[in-house]
């Protein structure tokens, strides 16, 4: 929902102002700053919850301040804990401020949502934290005089970019405690279920709960509808929620004129009775959009950019009609939806790989999801990656999630939602979004053609570039994000 900057140590307000200006796209509705002893806080706001009263930095009666990016879906339940407390706003982020002041960084484990935040004041000299999955971005850099935080890498001054690293999900940092973990992306929940039907029921109930929680806001969000299974299921749940409250769900789709996903999304929207918006684009328009997308996504991986270009068009369309959307991110990682996972024959090995993919989402797919939407001041919510739902999905035995024995990938998820979509759409074969939208082939040919084989041979060993297409993206990335270390994009980085 926003962009944040925080500087702790010997803060330079001019540095903070420069960094905040580079995040205007994330928060076009409002701006606020606060100067405290040893800390500078800045906020760009996209107003979704308490649009009239949720100006940030949020502050309490004692003078504690918070800047936050994201949504706390269980904020109403958490408010009820603090009987007698006088709340300053209706903002969901104010709950995070109260929890942290009352219980420190460890108390943030009670938050259910997506968030990156920074807090400073008399009750807590400084704290920065990020949600357990890393849905919302946060980066940090240690400079000679301060520790600097921001929502995107491009916010940092060039002289600091070589120091920039992703802030690890599920962790908080204070100057006295250092970096500490407060929650895991995949909490262990005991599971006494046995029969496949019992797991299907648990998955269905868990996802419905997650979608319902994420419909919060001053107006209900729409859905980015690719036409694939995951976003179609999310749309089906959201459409029922809207109908029960007198709303009509808005759905959004893009693709080339002949793309399979665009046709499928149109049919899903018609079946669900949504207010559907779609846009087609040409190969030429897609290639022209690449520099903007590389700048927005802050990455040069070809597979990521194939879907990112389509997502960029999609976010641009949706932002004309709403401020928040739900997406289908995360289902493939939880339910073994990728083709390469068929190669795993050992359950333990497959389980390890699925857990690895979930734990690295923040450096790949979630980076794409956040940046392409926030480039247009649009918030993306990810119901499949609610931590309670992750726990439910990961408690399903791997033997019931693996795509073998002639079963379609994500078999259990499809069975869980029989009757919610037409059978031919529910059991439609998976296509990667970049493929189904018609994007992958267009970009692969056009971008590879910008690099000669001789250029590629000179660069491949020095930079680890895998092919001519990737080198074309890398050149744009290097130009737009000069100073950022490729290590910052390394999906294997740990604490």
307 within domain boundaries: yes
Q: How many domains does the chain have?
A: 2
Q: Has residue 272 been placed in a domain?
A: yes
Residue 191: what pLDDT? 67
3-state secondary structure of 294: helix
CATH number at residue 109: 3.60.20.10
Taking only the tens of pLDDT, the chain with its 495 residues reads 689 999 999 999 999 999 999 999 999 888 999 999 999 999 998 877 767 777 889 999 999 999 999 999 999 999 999 887 888 888 889 999 999 999 999 999 999 999 999 999 999 999 999 999 999 999 999 999 999 999 999 999 999 999 999 999 999 999 999 999 999 998 666 666 778 999 999 999 999 999 999 999 888 999 999 999 999 999 999 999 999 999 999 999 998 888 888 999 999 999 999 999 999 998 899 999 999 999 999 999 999 999 999 999 999 999 999 999 999 999 999 999 999 999 998 999 999 999 999 999 999 999 999 999 999 999 999 999 999 999 999 999 999 999 876 788 999 999 999 999 999 999 988 765 555 455 677 899 899 988 888 888 877 655 678 889 999 999 999 998 989 987 787 643 333
How far apart, in whole angstroms, are the C-alpha atoms of residue 382 and residue 372?
14
**Is residue 315 situated within a structural domain?**
yes
50 is in an annotated binding site: no
Looking at residue 494, what is its pLDDT? 36
Give the separation between CA 16 and CA 40, rounded to whole angstroms.
7
Q: Is residue 158 domain-resident?
A: yes
pLDDT at 461 (0 to 100): 59
Torsion of CA 389, 390, 391, 392, to 10 degrees: 50
Q: Report the pLDDT value the prediction gives residue 240, as an integer from 0 to 100.
A: 98
For 154-221, the DSSP string reads GGS-GGGGGG-EEPPTTEEEETTTEEEE---SS--------SHHHHHHHHHHHHHHHHHHTT-SSS--
Cis peptide bond upstream of 57, omega within 30: yes
Q: Which of 149, 181, 213 is the last residue in one of the domains?
A: 181
**325 and 350, same domain (yes or no):** yes
Q: What is the pLDDT of residue 202?
A: 96
Looking at the domain assignment, is residue 308 inside a domain? yes
Residues 344 and 307 in one domain: yes
Are residues 383 and 417 located together in one domain of the fold?
Answer: yes
221 inside domain: yes
| CA-angle at 195, arms to 190 and 199, nearest 5° | 55
Tell me the CA distances in angstroms from 76 to 135, 245, 288, one per residue in order. Answer: 21, 19, 45
Catalytic-role residue among 2, 171, 242, 369:
2
Q: What is the pLDDT of residue 49?
A: 73
Same domain for 331 and 221 = yes
Residues 6 or more apart whose CB falls under 8 angstroms from that of 362 comprise 133, 134, 135, 137, 166, 169
pLDDT of 1: 62
Instruction: Report d(CA 451, CA 431) in Å as an integer.
Output: 28
Helix crossing, 196-213 with 229-244: angle to 10°? 60
Is residue 202 located within the same domain as residue 176? Answer: no
Residue 297 marked in a binding site: no
The reply to whether 92 sits in an annotated binding site is yes
Q: What is the span of the domain harbouring residue 256?
A: 196-448
Looking at residue 486, its pLDDT comes to 77
For position 492, what pLDDT does the model report? Answer: 37
DSSP state for residue 397 in the 8-state scheme: -
Same domain, 131 and 274: no
Is 244 within a domain? yes
pTM over 0.85? The answer is: yes
Cβ distance 445 to 287 under 8 Å? no
Q: Is 171 a catalytic residue?
A: no
């Amino acid at each position: 929902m926003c962009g944040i900057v925080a500087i702790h140590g010997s803060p330079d307000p001019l540095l903070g102002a420069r960094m905040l200006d580079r995040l205007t796209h994330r928060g076009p509705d409002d701006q606020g700053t606060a100067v405290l002893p040893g800390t500078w806080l800045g906020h760009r706001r996209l107003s979704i919850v308490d649009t009239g009263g949720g100006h940030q930095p949020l502050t309490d009666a004692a003078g504690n301040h918070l800047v936050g990016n994201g949504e706390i879906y269980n904020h109403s339940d958490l408010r009820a804990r603090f009987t007698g407390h006088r709340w300053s706003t209706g903002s969901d982020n104010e709950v995070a401020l109260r929890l942290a002041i009352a219980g420190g960084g460890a108390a943030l484990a009670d938050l259910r949502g997506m968030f990156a935040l920074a807090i400073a004041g008399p009750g807590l000299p400084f704290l920065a934290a990020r949600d357990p999955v890393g849905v919302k971005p946060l980066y940090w850099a240690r400079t000679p005089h301060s520790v600097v935080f921001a929502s995107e890498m491009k916010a940092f001054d060039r002289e600091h970019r070589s120091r920039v690293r992703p802030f690890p999900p599920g962790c908080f940092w204070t100057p006295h405690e250092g970096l500490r973990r407060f929650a895991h992306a995949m909490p262990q929940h005991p599971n006494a279920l046995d029969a496949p039907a019992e797991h299907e029921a648990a998955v269905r109930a868990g996802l419905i709960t997650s979608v319902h929680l994420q419909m919060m806001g001053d107006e209900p969000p729409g859905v980015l509808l690719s036409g694939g299974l995951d976003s179609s299921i999310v749309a089906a749940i959201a459409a029922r929620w809207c109908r029960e409250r007198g709303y009509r769900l808005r759905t959004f789709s893009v693709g080339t004129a002949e793309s399979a996903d665009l046709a499928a999304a149109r049919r899903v929207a018609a079946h669900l009775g949504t207010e559907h918006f779609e846009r087609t684009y040409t190969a030429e328009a897609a290639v022209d959009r690449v520099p903007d997308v590389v700048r927005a996504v802050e990455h040069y991986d070809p597979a990521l950019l194939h879907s990112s270009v389509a997502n960029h068009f999609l976010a641009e369309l949706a932002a004309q009609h709403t401020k928040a959307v739900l997406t289908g991110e995360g289902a493939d990682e939880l339910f073994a939806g990728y083709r390469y996972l068929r190669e795993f024959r050992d359950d333990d090995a497959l389980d390890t790989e699925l857990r690895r993919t979930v734990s690295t989402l923040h450096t790949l797919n979630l980076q794409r999801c956040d940046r392409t939407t926030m480039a247009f001041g649009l918030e993306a919510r990810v119901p499949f990656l609610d931590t309670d739902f992750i726990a439910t999905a990961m408690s399903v035995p791997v033997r019931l999630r693996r795509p073998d024995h002639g079963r379609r990938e994500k078999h259990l998820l499809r069975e869980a939602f029989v009757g919610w979509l037409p059978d031919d759409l529910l059991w439609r074969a998976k296509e990667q979004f970049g493929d189904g939208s018609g994007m992958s082939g267009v970009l692969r040919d056009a971008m590879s053609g910008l690099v000669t084989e001789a250029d590629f041979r000179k660069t491949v060993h020095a930079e680890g570039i895998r092919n001519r297409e990737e080198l074309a993206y890398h050149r744009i990335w290097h130009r737009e994000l000069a100073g950022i270390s490729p290590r910052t994009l390394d999906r294997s980085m740990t604490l």
